[in-house]
Amino acid sequence: MFKSQALPEFLATIDNDKCIRCKRCIQNCGWSVYEWSGERVLIDSSKCVKCLRCYHYCPVEAIQILDNPTKYKENSSWTFNNIKNLKRQAETGGMPLSGMGCSLPYPILFDSLLLDACQVTNPSIDPLREPMELRTYLGKKPNKVEVERGKDGKLKLKTKMPPRIELSAPFIFSPMSFGAISLNAQKVLAMAAKECGIVMNTGEGGFHEDLKPYSKSVMVQVASGRFGVNPEYLNAGVAVEIKIGQGAKPGIGGHLPGEKIPLQVAKTRMIPVGTDAISPAPQHDIYSIEDLRQLIYAIKEATGYKPVSVKIATVHNVAAIASGIVRAGADIVYLDGFRGGTGAAPSVIRDNLGIPIEHALAAVDDRLRQEGIRNEASVVAAGGIRSAADAAKAIALGADAVAIGTAALMTMGCTVCGKCYTGNCSWGITTQRPELTARLDPEVYGQRLVNLITAWKHELQEILGALGVNAVESLRGSRERLRGVGLDDNILDILGVKPAGR
Amino acid sequence: MNHNYQKDIAGCGLTGLISRKRKRVSGAAISKSLTLMTDRGNGLGAGYAAYGIFPELPEHYAIHAMFDYESSRREMEESLRLRYDIEKIEEIPTTPVGSIKISPKLIRYFVKPKPERLRDANEKDYVVRTVMRVNSQIEGAYIFGSGKNMGVFKGVGNPSEIAEFYKIEEYEGYIWTGHTRFPTNTPGWWGGAHPFTLLDWSIVHNGEISSYGINKRYLEMYGYKLTLLTDTEVAAYILDLLVRKHGLDMRTACSVLAAPFWKDIDRMEEGEREAYIALRSTYGSALLNGPFSLLFGHSNGLVGINDRIKLRPLVAAEKDDMIYMASEESAIREICPTPDKVWAPRAGDPVIVELEDS
Contacts of B7 in chain A (CB under 8 A): 480
Contacts of B261 in chain A (CB under 8 A): 131, 133
Give the C-alpha separation, A82 to B248, whole Å. Answer: 63
Residue B185 scores a pLDDT above 70? no
What is the pLDDT at residue A171? 98
Q: Which of B220, B246, B284 comes nearest A144 by C-beta?
A: B246
Nearest to B237, CA basis, from B148, A122, B228, B79: B228
Nearest to B295, CA basis, from B214, B215, B178: B178
Rounded to a whole number of angstroms, the distance from the CA of B85 to the nearest CA of chain A is 33
pLDDT in tens, B231-244: 888 998 999 899 98
Give the C-alpha separation, A470 to A267, whole Å. Answer: 47
> Sign of the C-alpha dihedral, residues B324, B326, B330, B334?
negative
Residue B207 scores a pLDDT above 90? no
Contact A474 B287 (CB under 8 A): yes
What is the pLDDT at residue B44? 85
Contact A131 B245 (CB under 8 A): no
Contact A480 B3 (CB under 8 A): yes
Domains of chain A: 10-94 (3.30.70.20), 166-472 (3.20.20.70)
Contacts of A496 in chain B (CB under 8 A): 1, 3
Residue B183 scores a pLDDT above 80? no
Nearest chain B Cα to A368, which residue? Answer: B221
Contacts of B281 in chain A (CB under 8 A): 137, 141, 164
Contact B211 A478 (CB under 8 A): yes
Region B10-37 average pLDDT = 94
Rounded to a whole number of angstroms, the distance from the CA of B159 to the nearest CA of chain A is 21
pLDDT in tens, B14-23: 999 999 999 9
Structure confidence at residue B1 as a pLDDT band (50, 70, 90): very low
What is the pLDDT at residue B53? 97
What is the pLDDT at residue A122? 85
Region B282-298 average pLDDT = 95
> Sign of the C-alpha dihedral, residues B315, B318, B319, B323?
positive
pLDDT in tens, B105-123: 999 999 999 999 999 999 9
Residue positions counted in chain B = 358
Mutate to test the interface with B, among A124, A160, A378, A473 (most CBs of B within 10 A): A473
Q: Which of A142, A366, A502 comes nearest B282 by C-beta?
A: A142
- Give domain B10-53+149-354's CATH superfamily: Aminohydrolase, N-terminal nucleophile (Ntn) domain (3.60.20.10)
Nearest chain A Cα to B4, which residue? Answer: A498
A96 DSSP assignment: P
Nearest chain B Cα to A374, which residue? Answer: B221
> Sign of the C-alpha dihedral, residues B247, B249, B252, B253?
positive
Contacts of A480 in chain B (CB under 8 A): 3, 7, 212-214, 216
List the domain boundaries for chain B.
Answer: 10-53+149-354
Contact A480 B7 (CB under 8 A): yes
Contact A157 B247 (CB under 8 A): no
The residues of B carrying an active-site annotation are 12
Per-residue pLDDT of chain A (502 residues; tens, 9 = 90+): 578 899 999 999 999 999 999 999 999 999 999 999 999 999 999 999 999 999 999 999 999 999 999 999 888 999 998 999 999 999 999 999 999 999 899 999 999 999 999 998 889 999 999 999 999 999 999 999 999 999 999 999 999 999 999 999 999 999 999 999 999 999 999 999 999 999 999 999 999 999 999 999 999 999 999 999 999 999 999 999 999 999 999 999 988 888 889 999 999 999 999 999 999 999 998 999 999 999 999 999 999 999 999 999 999 999 999 999 999 999 999 999 999 999 999 999 999 999 999 999 999 999 999 999 999 999 999 999 999 999 999 999 999 999 999 999 999 999 999 999 999 999 999 999 999 999 999 999 999 999 999 999 999 999 999 999 999 999 999 999 999 999 999 999 999 999 999 9
Angle, in degrees to the nearest 10, between helices B123-137 and B70-83: 160
Contacts of A493 in chain B (CB under 8 A): 3
Structure confidence at residue B181 as a pLDDT band (50, 70, 90): confident
Residue B134 scores a pLDDT above 70? yes
Structure confidence at residue B306 as a pLDDT band (50, 70, 90): very high
pLDDT in tens, B39-59: 898 888 899 999 999 999 999
Region B217-235 average pLDDT = 87
Contact A161 B278 (CB under 8 A): yes
Distances A450 to A60, A190, B272, B278, B284 between C-alpha atoms, Å: 30, 11, 32, 29, 27
